[in-house]
Amino acid sequence: MRLPASDTIAAVATPPGRGGIGIVRLSGPASRQIGQRLFRSGRPDFPGLTPYRLHHGTFHTPAGKLLDEGMAAFMPGPGSYTGEDTVELFCHGSPAVLRSVLEAVYALGARPAGPGEFTKRAYVNGRLDLSQAEAVAELIAARGAVQAELALSRLTGAMGDAARELGAALADLMAGICLAVDFPEEEVECLPKAAFAEGVAAVLARIDALLEAGRRARPYREGTTVALFGRVNAGKSSLFNALLGTDRAIVADLPGTTRDYLEESLDLDGLPVRLTDTAGLRDTADAIEKIGKERGKAKASRAALGLYLVDGSAPFVPDAEAEAVIAALTPAKVLAVVTKADLPPAEPAPAALLADRGLAQVAVSSRTGFGLTGLVAAIRAILTRDAGPPEPDTPAPSDREAAALLAARTELAELLADIARGLPYDIMGVRLETASTLLADITGETTPDDVLNTVFDRFCIGK
């Protein structure tokens, strides 16, 4: 992880494509020198790139060719994002302009930055711990307000603080038993085993709270799935389009129009959802339709929530294939949607028959919009029944952090059993040390280089 002192990196720090502003970022000991060779101020008394000030001027190649007009800023280390001297060149957001400025930067001695290398340098230089560095990537990738809030909670250091507090509690327990380990022949005061067990249990309870926060936040962080299924012409594609607010699926009176499943992303008040429209269920001799139907059934059976669509204007006909999907999901994960509420209801009403099956239900009309708001609310309520953003004082760990917490929890649970069995303190101290090392992985204090590289390789170039 050590970086050469003479190494200066550069990359475009703004997203690909055209925009009003594009930023070329440099980090390393030669940043200011390179920036000043590229940048020319229109002021005759220009003193050079002054720290923490925006300077207006023009950018030029080493040979003097004009590249662009813009702004330049210099942030000296260790007070910069990376902890090193950093320069940012604010150009017009044309890919051609940014490429030409970047090529000039390379010509003056910088090298291309790798994925996440700016943030890796911030971690190496102590500006961020590993949990905060991961949160940077999560914040960049956030697709909604809740995802951004989850990332910001960790970016402020909440997860690292929690890990360090747990580590400190284990260190106190270790200090309490060290007397017995270091002076086994002496009659010295040592932490009584009842108090030892109580301290371990308190750490376990805090770990459990963090793991529960991660579990509840997972649908918001990773997204969840909703699948529409039911007989042909039940209105699946119409509802799919209505929920998306666009004509994504082909809608026609001809049965079997949807021959394969369609998927699109949907945001339900901060909850990312992958919405799937599946092929209608019916007996068919069409080989392609059969394949599409089976793929759709498999997709629906694995969804976090299935929307079972039933045509409210036609007599209800029980369908064995739909019942198989409901059985695979369980009724608690199925919401019956009675469609075509703008048409006269059939007799007997499908709603009454669905109620007998124990399925929650909502009536809608995709054509008029009737019931759609209630349907969205019902979908979100079911999907977030056992989920939710964590409490302010309980950050939600990432998958990597949760794995470390779970491994530490396993060691501490075994330690409680060892205490109950009356094992010697020196043996039990090994479990404390192992748990402490696992918790230190969260902040990167003991994390191997291959794990660190995996974390930073997921970043975009330029951050």
Residue 46 and residue 26 in one domain: yes
Cα maximum dimension of the chain = 90
Residue 425 and residue 325 in one domain: no
Instruction: Determine the pLDDT at residue 454.
Output: 74
* C-beta atoms surrounding 276 within 10 Å: 23
Number of structural domains found in the chain: 3
For residue 455, being part of any structural domain is answered with: no
For residue 146, being part of any structural domain is answered with: yes
Residue 230 and residue 357 in one domain: yes
For residue 3, being part of any structural domain is answered with: no
CA pseudo-torsion sign 418, 423, 425, 427: negative
Cα three-residue angle 117-123-125, rounded to 5 degrees: 100
Residue 275 and residue 405 in one domain: no
Instruction: Determine the pLDDT at residue 391.
Output: 64
Residue 307 and residue 348 in one domain: yes
Question: What is the β-pairing status of strands 334-339 and 305-311?
Answer: parallel
Residue 296 and residue 433 in one domain: no
Boundary of a domain, candidates 127, 153, 182? 127
Question: What is the β-pairing status of strands 224-230 and 334-339?
Answer: unpaired
Residue 96 and residue 166 in one domain: no
Residue 83 and residue 20 in one domain: yes
- Look-up: residue for tokens 């997860």? 159
In CATH, what number is assigned to the domain containing residue 18? Answer: 3.30.1360.120
- The pLDDT tens digits along the chain (463 residues) read 444 456 999 999 998 888 899 999 999 999 999 999 999 998 888 989 999 999 999 999 999 999 999 999 999 999 999 999 999 999 999 999 999 999 999 999 999 999 889 999 999 899 999 999 888 888 888 877 788 888 888 888 999 999 999 999 999 888 877 655 555 555 555 678 888 899 999 999 999 999 999 988 888 888 899 999 888 888 888 999 998 887 654 444 444 445 457 888 888 877 889 999 887 775 555 556 566 666 777 888 888 999 999 898 888 878 888 888 888 889 889 999 999 999 998 877 777 777 777 788 899 999 999 999 999 999 999 998 877 665 656 788 988 999 999 999 999 999 999 999 988 888 888 999 999 999 999 988 877 676 677 777 777 777 7
Q: Which domain does 405 fall in, by range?
A: 139-219+398-444
Instruction: Determine the pLDDT at residue 251.
Output: 46
Residue 51 and residue 86 in one domain: yes
Residue 365 and residue 440 in one domain: no
Strand, helix or coil at 22? Answer: strand
Residue 348 and residue 419 in one domain: no
- Look-up: residue for tokens 């720290």? 51
In CATH, what number is assigned to the domain containing residue 144? Answer: 1.20.120.430
In CATH, what number is assigned to the domain containing residue 253? Answer: 3.40.50.300
For residue 87, being part of any structural domain is answered with: yes
For residue 296, being part of any structural domain is answered with: yes
Q: Are 112 and 106 in contact (CB under 8 A)?
A: yes
Boundary of a domain, candidates 96, 127, 158? 127
Instruction: Determine the pLDDT at residue 63.
Output: 93
For residue 100, being part of any structural domain is answered with: yes
Instruction: Determine the pLDDT at residue 287.
Output: 58
Instruction: Determine the pLDDT at residue 248.
Output: 53
Residue 213 and residue 245 in one domain: no
For residue 393, being part of any structural domain is answered with: no
* C-beta atoms surrounding 438 within 10 Å: 23
For residue 283, being part of any structural domain is answered with: yes
